[in-house]
Amino acid sequence: MKHSLLFLLLTSILLFFVACGNDGLPDYREEIVGEWRLKNAGELQRYLKGERDYLLKNASITFNDDGTVDAQIMLSDNQKWFNQTGTWEMPKEGKLLTLKSDSGPFDDELKIDFTDERTFYLTSNGLAYQFIKL
| 106 within some domain | yes
> How many beta carbons lie within 10 A of that of residue 61, not counting itself?
22
pLDDT grade for 97, boundaries at 50, 70 and 90:
very high
pLDDT of residue 109: 92
Q: Enter the pTM of the model.
A: 0.75
Angle at 31 between CA 55 and CA 116, to 5 degrees: 80
Is 120 exposed, middle or buried (CB count within 10 Å of its CB: 0-12, 13-18, 19+)?
buried
For residues 53, 46, 113, 134, the Cα torsion angle rounded to the nearest 10 degrees is -70
Strand 95-101 relative to strand 34-38, pairing: unpaired
| 21 within some domain | no
Q: What is the pLDDT of residues 50-74, one digit of tens each?
A: 656 677 888 899 999 999 999 998 8
| 97 within some domain | yes
56 is in which domain, residue-wise? 26-133
Residue pair 59/72 in contact (Cβ under 8 Å)? The answer is yes
pLDDT of residue 12: 56
Angle at 103 between CA 98 and CA 106, to 5 degrees: 35
Question: What's 15's DSSP letter?
Answer: H
Q: What is the mean pLDDT of the chain?
A: 81
User: CATH number of the domain that 43 lies in?
Assistant: 2.40.128.280
Q: Which residues 6+ apart lie within 8 Å of 50 measured at CB?
A: none
Q: What is the pLDDT of residues 102-125, one digit of tens each?
A: 987 667 899 999 999 999 999 988
| 19 within some domain | no
pLDDT of residue 79: 76
Q: Which residues 6+ apart lie within 8 Å of 70 measured at CB?
A: 61, 62, 64, 83, 84, 85
Total count of domains within the chain: 1
